[in-house]
Amino acid sequence: MSRRDVGIGLVGYGTMGKAHSYAYAAAPLIRPLPWRPRLRVVAGRNHDAVERAARDFGAERFTTDWREVVEAPDVEIVDICTPPGAHAEVIEAAAEAGKAILCEKPLAADWDDACRAAAAVRRAPVKNAIGFNYRRLPALSLMKELIDSGRIGAIRLWRGSWLSDEFADPEIPFDWRFARREGASTIADLGAHLLDLAGWMVGELDAVSAQSQTFTPARADAAGERHDVDIDEASSALLRFTSGALGVFEVGKTCVRRPCDFTLEVNGERGTLRFDYARINELWFGDGDDAPELYGMRRIRAEHPLHPETRGWWAIGQGIGYGASFVNQIADLLERWPDGRWAPDFAVGLEVQAACEAIERAAAERRWVTLEEIRRGPAVGTAGSPR
């Protein structure tokens, strides 16, 4: 099959830059795509580091000025992998330049900037997508299919938890991850994925009540200067969906020996579905219609060719990992280039940001906060978002 090239410009070269670069390299090996992604340029602030990254990622060139990525005539898709606080400015410039945009989650570090970003792609308009890659894991995509097909009936309860030990050591030096304006809250960082999956599977959120805690209120940077930590290190929330379903949400970065423990459970009137990231290719299903002697949960190995997001991958039993979620996302987007609809898009990202903002506000003000209150706030109107 003849493939035409599509030029990619990557802004940011950290962990997410590496993951996205891997996906661009692997996607054409997994699916017979009509477009071949070509990583034209990588941008980053540190000259030596971005030069190494460009070489490792297989990019044609590098730059220390992200504006060169946006303005490059051979770049058609701008892929943003910077810390969240830098997203909105790059999005606005890329949209004005008429470039398609893929942006890592969360859409921005706060609600105001998320509104700016969403408004920019509406004004242009340009194709846009946000990096909620976990939708592309076979087990979670199968979970969505079973819910939509009615296998567990109307949803009554949802619970999501994401625990890590990233900040457990109080001696970890202060950097951008501890500054909300740059790195976003833990609610938005870890929680954005959970809230996206909740909205995708259960539906729109109505209201939230929450609590947050910062256990190490100040940290010293590499030079020894101390800085206040203004992000939550752990948060939990009660959720109420417009459907009437209830939810429980928890995120924490101070959970010792919890590397990336992400679990999701949905209880319906006729069954239960449960996912545990530590067993990434498994989905547990409790079917209320089973015979009494089969009472309990069955393990589904979500690797069969009939399962979603397994297309082009390995034979049953070989496993599909974290990297595959990025490969599947890039492949899906390229299959729809240049005229198909990209999903999830910035409108989804904005809705998730509203949920993050509601949880942050509920924790700060110790009250229930509705999503409508966030959507109708001053930032929404000034950014041009729909009321």
Domains recognised in the chain with CATH numbers: 4-134+341-345 (3.40.50.720), 137-318 (3.30.360.10)
Q: Kind of pairing, strands 282-287 and 218-220?
A: unpaired
Cα gap 102→169, rounded to integer Å: 33
Q: What is the pLDDT of residues 340-350, one digit of tens each?
A: 999 999 999 99
Query: Cα(first)–Cα(last) distance of the chain, in Å?
Result: 46
Section 135-150 average pLDDT: 98
Q: What is the pLDDT of residues 163-222, one digit of tens each?
A: 999 999 999 999 999 999 999 999 999 999 999 999 999 999 999 999 999 999 999 999
In this prediction the pTM is 0.95
- The whole-number pLDDT of residue 387 equals 22
User: 160: closest CA among 276, 238, 250?
Assistant: 250
Local structure of residue 315 (DSSP, 8 states): P
Local structure of residue 67 (DSSP, 8 states): H
Reported in sequence order, the residue ranges of the chain that DSSP labels E, i.e. its strands, are 4-11, 35-43, 61-63, 77-80, 100-104, 128-131, 155-163, 205-213, 218-220, 226-228, 234-241, 246-252, 261-268, 271-276, 282-287, 298-301, 369-370
